[in-house]
A and B are shown apart, each in its own frame.
Chain A
Amino acid sequence: MEDKLLTGTLIVLALLMLALMPKVIKGPRFTDRIVAINAINTMVTASICLLSRLHRAGYLLDVALIYALLGFTATTLLTRLLAADRQKEEKKK
Protein backbone atom coordinates (compact mmCIF):
# COMPACT_ATOMS: atom_id res chain seq x y z
CA MET A 1 0.00 0.00 0.00
CA GLU A 2 2.71 2.44 1.03
CA ASP A 3 4.77 1.64 -2.03
CA LYS A 4 1.80 2.28 -4.29
CA LEU A 5 1.19 5.61 -2.60
CA LEU A 6 4.84 6.58 -3.03
CA THR A 7 4.83 5.56 -6.68
CA GLY A 8 1.65 7.58 -7.26
CA THR A 9 3.23 10.64 -5.65
CA LEU A 10 6.32 10.22 -7.80
CA ILE A 11 4.19 10.08 -10.94
CA VAL A 12 2.31 13.23 -9.91
CA LEU A 13 5.64 15.00 -9.28
CA ALA A 14 6.95 13.92 -12.68
CA LEU A 15 3.80 15.24 -14.36
CA LEU A 16 4.18 18.56 -12.54
CA MET A 17 7.78 18.78 -13.69
CA LEU A 18 6.71 18.13 -17.27
CA ALA A 19 4.05 20.82 -16.91
CA LEU A 20 6.77 23.29 -15.92
CA MET A 21 8.99 22.43 -18.88
CA PRO A 22 7.25 24.82 -21.36
CA LYS A 23 7.91 27.64 -18.94
CA VAL A 24 11.58 26.69 -18.81
CA ILE A 25 11.99 26.36 -22.55
CA LYS A 26 9.79 29.23 -23.69
CA GLY A 27 9.62 31.52 -20.68
CA PRO A 28 9.21 34.97 -22.17
CA ARG A 29 11.50 36.46 -19.56
CA PHE A 30 14.76 35.29 -18.04
CA THR A 31 13.32 35.41 -14.52
CA ASP A 32 10.47 33.08 -15.50
CA ARG A 33 13.00 30.44 -16.39
CA ILE A 34 14.90 30.86 -13.14
CA VAL A 35 11.73 30.48 -11.10
CA ALA A 36 10.62 27.44 -13.10
CA ILE A 37 14.05 25.79 -12.74
CA ASN A 38 13.97 26.45 -9.01
CA ALA A 39 10.54 24.84 -8.73
CA ILE A 40 11.78 21.82 -10.69
CA ASN A 41 14.80 21.57 -8.37
CA THR A 42 12.49 21.49 -5.35
CA MET A 43 10.40 18.74 -6.92
CA VAL A 44 13.48 16.70 -7.83
CA THR A 45 14.66 16.97 -4.22
CA ALA A 46 11.25 15.78 -3.01
CA SER A 47 11.23 12.88 -5.45
CA ILE A 48 14.74 11.78 -4.39
CA CYS A 49 13.50 11.69 -0.77
CA LEU A 50 10.50 9.61 -1.85
CA LEU A 51 12.78 7.28 -3.81
CA SER A 52 14.98 6.76 -0.78
CA ARG A 53 11.91 5.56 1.13
CA LEU A 54 10.70 3.47 -1.81
CA HIS A 55 14.02 1.65 -2.22
CA ARG A 56 14.78 1.66 1.52
CA ALA A 57 18.13 3.30 0.68
CA GLY A 58 19.11 5.85 3.29
CA TYR A 59 22.10 7.16 1.35
CA LEU A 60 19.79 8.76 -1.20
CA LEU A 61 18.93 11.39 1.42
CA ASP A 62 22.53 12.64 1.17
CA VAL A 63 22.03 12.99 -2.56
CA ALA A 64 18.83 14.95 -1.95
CA LEU A 65 20.70 17.31 0.39
CA ILE A 66 23.45 17.88 -2.17
CA TYR A 67 20.91 18.45 -4.90
CA ALA A 68 19.03 21.01 -2.80
CA LEU A 69 22.30 22.79 -1.98
CA LEU A 70 23.45 22.94 -5.60
CA GLY A 71 20.02 24.13 -6.76
CA PHE A 72 20.03 26.87 -4.13
CA THR A 73 23.54 27.99 -5.09
CA ALA A 74 22.73 27.99 -8.80
CA THR A 75 19.56 30.04 -8.34
CA THR A 76 21.33 32.52 -6.08
CA LEU A 77 24.18 32.94 -8.54
CA LEU A 78 21.86 33.43 -11.51
CA THR A 79 19.74 36.04 -9.72
CA ARG A 80 22.93 37.78 -8.59
CA LEU A 81 24.20 38.03 -12.15
CA LEU A 82 20.80 39.31 -13.24
CA ALA A 83 20.81 41.97 -10.50
CA ALA A 84 24.31 43.06 -11.50
CA ASP A 85 23.25 43.37 -15.15
CA ARG A 86 20.20 45.43 -14.18
CA GLN A 87 22.37 47.74 -12.12
CA LYS A 88 24.81 48.21 -14.97
CA GLU A 89 21.98 49.12 -17.34
CA GLU A 90 20.53 51.61 -14.88
CA LYS A 91 23.92 53.23 -14.41
CA LYS A 92 24.29 53.58 -18.17
CA LYS A 93 20.94 55.37 -18.36
Chain B
Amino acid sequence: MLHTIIENRFAVTAVILFVTGFVNMMVHPNLIKKVVAFNIMDSATFLMLASRGMIAGRTAAILTDGGADVTRYVNPIPAGLVLTGIVVSVSVSAFSLALIQRIYGAYGTVDMRELLEAMKKKGE
Protein backbone atom coordinates (compact mmCIF):
# COMPACT_ATOMS: atom_id res chain seq x y z
CA MET B 1 0.00 0.00 0.00
CA LEU B 2 2.67 2.48 1.07
CA HIS B 3 4.75 1.40 -1.88
CA THR B 4 1.98 2.20 -4.37
CA ILE B 5 1.35 5.54 -2.69
CA ILE B 6 5.03 6.45 -2.99
CA GLU B 7 5.04 5.27 -6.60
CA ASN B 8 2.12 7.60 -7.34
CA ARG B 9 3.16 10.38 -4.98
CA PHE B 10 2.26 13.22 -7.34
CA ALA B 11 -1.19 11.86 -8.12
CA VAL B 12 -1.92 11.39 -4.40
CA THR B 13 -0.70 14.92 -3.62
CA ALA B 14 -2.86 16.26 -6.44
CA VAL B 15 -5.93 14.46 -5.09
CA ILE B 16 -5.34 15.77 -1.56
CA LEU B 17 -4.85 19.32 -2.86
CA PHE B 18 -7.96 19.04 -5.02
CA VAL B 19 -10.15 17.88 -2.14
CA THR B 20 -8.70 20.57 0.16
CA GLY B 21 -9.68 23.18 -2.38
CA PHE B 22 -13.09 21.60 -2.90
CA VAL B 23 -13.97 21.54 0.81
CA ASN B 24 -12.82 25.13 1.23
CA MET B 25 -14.79 26.25 -1.78
CA MET B 26 -17.97 24.66 -0.44
CA VAL B 27 -17.67 25.51 3.25
CA HIS B 28 -15.73 28.77 3.59
CA PRO B 29 -18.09 31.73 3.94
CA ASN B 30 -15.60 34.29 2.58
CA LEU B 31 -15.99 34.80 -1.16
CA ILE B 32 -12.34 35.71 -1.76
CA LYS B 33 -11.23 32.55 0.03
CA LYS B 34 -13.53 30.65 -2.29
CA VAL B 35 -11.60 32.05 -5.25
CA VAL B 36 -8.33 31.07 -3.56
CA ALA B 37 -9.70 27.56 -3.05
CA PHE B 38 -10.67 27.45 -6.72
CA ASN B 39 -7.09 28.30 -7.61
CA ILE B 40 -5.82 25.52 -5.35
CA MET B 41 -8.04 23.08 -7.24
CA ASP B 42 -6.62 24.38 -10.51
CA SER B 43 -3.07 23.85 -9.27
CA ALA B 44 -3.95 20.29 -8.29
CA THR B 45 -5.21 19.62 -11.82
CA PHE B 46 -2.04 21.05 -13.36
CA LEU B 47 0.14 18.97 -11.04
CA MET B 48 -1.77 15.86 -12.04
CA LEU B 49 -1.46 16.57 -15.77
CA ALA B 50 2.21 17.51 -15.60
CA SER B 51 3.13 14.48 -13.50
CA ARG B 52 1.26 12.15 -15.87
CA GLY B 53 3.24 13.55 -18.77
CA MET B 54 6.60 12.70 -17.21
CA ILE B 55 8.46 9.57 -18.33
CA ALA B 56 11.72 8.68 -16.60
CA GLY B 57 14.86 9.39 -18.59
CA ARG B 58 13.21 11.65 -21.15
CA THR B 59 13.32 15.42 -21.50
CA ALA B 60 10.80 18.07 -22.48
CA ALA B 61 9.85 18.13 -26.15
CA ILE B 62 12.30 20.79 -27.30
CA LEU B 63 14.29 19.18 -30.07
CA THR B 64 18.00 19.60 -29.62
CA ASP B 65 19.03 16.84 -32.00
CA GLY B 66 16.62 17.63 -34.80
CA GLY B 67 14.08 15.02 -33.79
CA ALA B 68 16.33 12.12 -34.74
CA ASP B 69 15.66 10.06 -31.62
CA VAL B 70 11.95 10.03 -30.84
CA THR B 71 12.34 8.03 -27.63
CA ARG B 72 14.24 10.87 -25.92
CA TYR B 73 11.23 13.16 -25.53
CA VAL B 74 8.02 13.16 -23.50
CA ASN B 75 4.54 13.79 -24.81
CA PRO B 76 3.91 17.49 -25.54
CA ILE B 77 0.12 17.23 -25.06
CA PRO B 78 -0.02 17.45 -21.22
CA ALA B 79 2.11 20.62 -21.37
CA GLY B 80 -0.30 22.13 -23.88
CA LEU B 81 -3.27 21.18 -21.72
CA VAL B 82 -1.67 22.79 -18.65
CA LEU B 83 -1.12 25.96 -20.69
CA THR B 84 -4.79 26.06 -21.68
CA GLY B 85 -5.81 25.40 -18.09
CA ILE B 86 -3.65 28.21 -16.72
CA VAL B 87 -5.12 30.73 -19.15
CA VAL B 88 -8.69 29.74 -18.35
CA SER B 89 -7.99 29.73 -14.61
CA VAL B 90 -6.51 33.24 -14.76
CA SER B 91 -9.51 34.51 -16.71
CA VAL B 92 -12.05 32.93 -14.38
CA SER B 93 -10.24 34.21 -11.28
CA ALA B 94 -10.09 37.73 -12.68
CA PHE B 95 -13.77 37.67 -13.59
CA SER B 96 -14.88 36.35 -10.21
CA LEU B 97 -12.69 38.82 -8.34
CA ALA B 98 -14.24 41.66 -10.34
CA LEU B 99 -17.70 40.35 -9.46
CA ILE B 100 -16.69 40.17 -5.78
CA GLN B 101 -15.44 43.76 -5.91
CA ARG B 102 -18.82 44.85 -7.25
CA ILE B 103 -20.61 42.84 -4.55
CA TYR B 104 -18.45 44.50 -1.91
CA GLY B 105 -19.29 47.88 -3.37
CA ALA B 106 -23.02 47.14 -3.26
CA TYR B 107 -23.33 45.39 0.13
CA GLY B 108 -20.16 46.24 2.03
CA THR B 109 -19.26 42.65 2.83
CA VAL B 110 -17.81 39.55 1.20
CA ASP B 111 -19.05 37.10 3.85
CA MET B 112 -21.78 34.79 2.55
CA ARG B 113 -23.80 34.87 5.75
CA GLU B 114 -23.75 38.65 6.12
CA LEU B 115 -24.39 38.95 2.42
CA LEU B 116 -27.61 36.92 2.70
CA GLU B 117 -28.83 39.11 5.54
CA ALA B 118 -27.88 42.32 3.72
CA MET B 119 -29.67 41.15 0.59
CA LYS B 120 -32.78 40.32 2.62
CA LYS B 121 -32.74 43.75 4.24
CA LYS B 122 -32.38 45.40 0.87
CA GLY B 123 -35.22 43.30 -0.51
CA GLU B 124 -37.56 44.42 2.25
Chain A residues within 8 Å of B, Cβ to Cβ: 55, 57, 59
Inter-chain contacts of A55 with B (CB < 8 A): 59
Closest to A55 in B: B59
Chain B residues within 8 Å of A, Cβ to Cβ: 59-60, 62
Query: Sorted from nearest, which 4 A-B pairs have the closest CB atoms?
Result: A57-B59, A59-B62, A59-B60, A57-B60
Chain B's interface: helix, strand, loop or mixed, by majority? strand
- Report how far A49 CA is from B54 CA in the complex, Å: 20
- Report how far A59 CA is from B59 CA in the complex, Å: 11
Give the shortest distance, in Å, between A43 (CB) and chain B (any CB).
19
Give the shortest distance, in Å, between A90 (CB) and chain B (any CB).
23
Inter-chain contacts of B62 with A (CB < 8 A): 59
- Report how far A57 CA is from B73 CA in the complex, Å: 13
Inter-chain contacts of B59 with A (CB < 8 A): 55, 57
- Report how far A57 CA is from B60 CA in the complex, Å: 9
Give the shortest distance, in Å, between A49 (CB) and chain B (any CB).
17
Inter-chain contacts of A57 with B (CB < 8 A): 59-60
Closest to A56 in B: B59
Q: What would be 5 A-B contacts, judged by CB atoms less than 8 Å apart?
A: A55-B59, A57-B59, A57-B60, A59-B60, A59-B62
Closest to A57 in B: B59
- Report how far A72 CA is from B101 CA in the complex, Å: 25
Closest to B62 in A: A59
- Report how far A55 CA is from B60 CA in the complex, Å: 11
Closest to A60 in B: B60
- Report how far A59 CA is from B62 CA in the complex, Å: 10
Inter-chain contacts of B60 with A (CB < 8 A): 57, 59
